[in-house]
Amino acid sequence: MRTINLSEVTEKVKNAVIEINYKLDDSLVALFNKAYKNETKELSKAVLSDIIENQDIARKGDVPLCQDTGVVVVFMEIGNNVFIDGDIYESINEGVRQGYKEGYLRKSMVNHPFDRVNTKDNTPAIIHTKIVQGNTIKMKIASKGGGSENMSKVTMLTPADSIDGVKKLVLDTIFNAGGKPCPPIIVGIGIGGNLEKSALLAKEALLRDLDDENNDKIIRTLEKELYDEINELGVGPMGVGGKTTCLAVKINYYPMHIASLPVAINIQCHSSRHTEVII
Amino acid sequence: MIKLNTPITEADIKSLKVGEKVLISGVIYTARDQAHIRLLDEEDIKFDVEGSVIFYVGPTPNREGIAIGASGPTSSYRMDKLAVPLMEKGLKLMIGKGDRSEEFRLEMIKNNSVYLIATGGAGALLSSRIKSSKVIMYEDLGAEAIRRLEVEDFPCFVAYDIYGNDIFKN
């Protein structure tokens, strides 16, 4: 049994939220550069050029990438051989509190659907917990913006809708969202489970490595086909038209009821900010 | 590319055509959801709306020595209805991101105003073009307060012009 130092949890969460809001992953920047070379329309190139220049400026550490520094989402895997002597959720929230203050990040959480009073420290984080085997705690941490989240959706399809139904739903959702979710986007799709499980699958799919390959052949093919078909929609960078509407499509799936085909589509803007820490 | 200085004139509005890059210099004002709602009943607006430019943004807090934090545009569609009374008072340019309703577009043309977009998510880049920032109304709204910004070559693109063109449909 290994005892987890809760102050280490706070420190790592704090550092992670600051880091991700100033520095985009190199693999993502490589996709921006590839998209810039691939675009032919002057306006689409100009928008991508802004996006590339922006991450260069933010990297210096004075000003975050985007004014919407998001809601903090944590996927936590707790090893069965760790002992947590205290409230780990509060330790995570303390990390958020400190990180959003010290990192000069915007506090975007309000406490109530209708009062809408700001909590002033960007807490609470949205934390999902899973128990796994092992003696570590792994946390995938993301800052998720509101603009792209608002364009996301869950739909309960039926088995007869099949792959074509899923494709139509995804393409319609992305076309109708247009420039609002800040394309070029990353598309996280959760298929199966039930209502809430599909949404979790979609969110977690957004946190996959951009260049990983799905183990399932049918899903891998669907990811590739959707990637091409989404980019044929012509929405383009910030909706001004062009060849680059999405940078990646990631699909996670789970077994489901014989009557159901739940599909969740979670849209991530081009400023995909997430990392992983191990304690 | 067109360079504009504030305040915006009728001649400036006529010169703007969809898809063109515009660099704005001078004074612009920030306002987003809550500030727009309050402005509906406001009797003492602390800036001259005639010929003005409103930027839909809620910046991050700024570090010392830097005029303003990250300042990328927020989605404009939420301000569609709220923008109409301001355009009737002479608001000339709105800067945001994403498409807007057909009703808004028609009202905009009627009032001889123009909708510009800045690159969404480019908060650090846009911040670097803002030379000063001062809260002039609704300080209690925090990031949503109304700010007076001095900008230099603030980069935008014409999204809807007065000739009925739409950047998202080109």
Cα–Cα nearest to A191, from A259, A262, A250, A265: A262
Q: Considering chain A, what is the average pLDDT of its residues?
A: 97
Q: What is the pTM of this model?
A: 0.94
Q: Yes or no: say if A246 and A185 are a contact pair by the CB < 8 Å rule.
A: yes
pLDDT above 70: residue A69: yes
Query: What residues in A contact B60, CB-CB < 8 Å?
Result: 63-64, 67, 69, 104-106
Query: What residues in A contact B21, CB-CB < 8 Å?
Result: 46
User: Would you say the C-alpha torsion A77, A80, A84, A87 has a positive or negative sign?
Assistant: positive
**Per-residue confidence at B13, pLDDT binned at 50, 70, 90?**
very high
- The pairing of strands A82-84 and A2-4 is parallel
A46 touches chain B (CB under 8 A): yes
Query: What residues in A contact B147, CB-CB < 8 Å?
Result: none
Euclidean distance between CA atoms A266 and A279, whole angstroms: 28
The token duo for A110 is 């309000």
Q: Percent of chain A at pLDDT above 90?
A: 98
| CA angle at A271 for the pair A267 and A277, rounded to the nearest 5° | 95
**Per-residue confidence at B97, pLDDT binned at 50, 70, 90?**
very high
Euclidean distance between CA atoms A240 and B170, whole angstroms: 8
**Phi then psi for B93, rounded to 5 degrees?**
-130, 140
Euclidean distance between CA atoms A175 and A236, whole angstroms: 10
Q: Percent of chain A at pLDDT above 70?
A: 100
pLDDT above 70: residue B170: no
Beta bridge partners, B24, equal B4, B154
Torsion of CA A9, A15, A17, A22, to 10 degrees: -170
A26 touches chain B (CB under 8 A): no
- The 10 Å Cβ neighbour count of residue A89 is 16
Q: Yes or no: say if B56 and B95 are a contact pair by the CB < 8 Å rule.
A: yes
pLDDT above 70: residue B2: yes
Contacts of A42 (CB under 8 A, 6+ apart): none
Contact B66 A63 (CB under 8 A): yes
A110 touches chain B (CB under 8 A): no
Q: Mind listing the domains of chain B with CATH numbers?
A: 2-162 (3.20.130.10)
* CB-based burial, A159-185: b 16+ in 10 Å, e otherwise: eebeeebbbebbeebbeebbbbbbbbb
Q: Yes or no: say if A58 and A139 are a contact pair by the CB < 8 Å rule.
A: no
**Per-residue confidence at A263, pLDDT binned at 50, 70, 90?**
very high
Q: Using an 8 Å CB-CB cutoff, list residues of chain B that contact chain A.
A: 19, 21, 57-63, 66, 69-72, 74-75, 77, 97-99, 117, 119-125, 127-128, 142-143, 155, 157, 167-168, 170
Tell me how close the Cα of B88 comes to any Cα of chain A, in angstroms: 26
pLDDT tens for residues A201-243? 999 999 999 999 999 999 999 999 999 999 999 999 999 999 9
Tell me how close the Cα of B45 comes to any Cα of chain A, in angstroms: 24
- pLDDT the model gives residue A116: 86
Residue in B closest to A67 by C-alpha: B70
Q: Is B96 helix (H, G, I), strand (E, B) or coil?
A: strand
ipTM reported for the complex, 2 dp: 0.92
Facing B60 at nearest CB: one of A67, A241, A269: A67
- The pairing of strands B21-30 and B53-55 is parallel
Helix axes B102-110, B80-88, angle to 10 degrees: 10
- The pairing of strands A273-278 and A261-268 is unpaired
| CA angle at A250 for the pair A248 and A252, rounded to the nearest 5° | 180
Euclidean distance between CA atoms A204 and A195, whole angstroms: 15
Query: What residues in B contact A144, CB-CB < 8 Å?
Result: none
pLDDT tens for residues A206-217? 999 999 999 999
Residue in A closest to B56 by C-alpha: A67
Whole-number Cα distances in Å, B42 to A41, B36, B46, B144: 44, 10, 10, 16
Mean pLDDT, range B27-38, rounded to an integer: 96
- The 10 Å Cβ neighbour count of residue B107 is 18
| CA angle at A41 for the pair A38 and A46, rounded to the nearest 5° | 90
Interface test with A, best of B37, B66, B75, B101 (most A CBs within 10 A): B75
Cα–Cα nearest to A143, from A275, A250, A247: A275
The amino acid at residue A21 is N
pLDDT tens for residues A178-200? 999 999 999 999 999 999 999 99
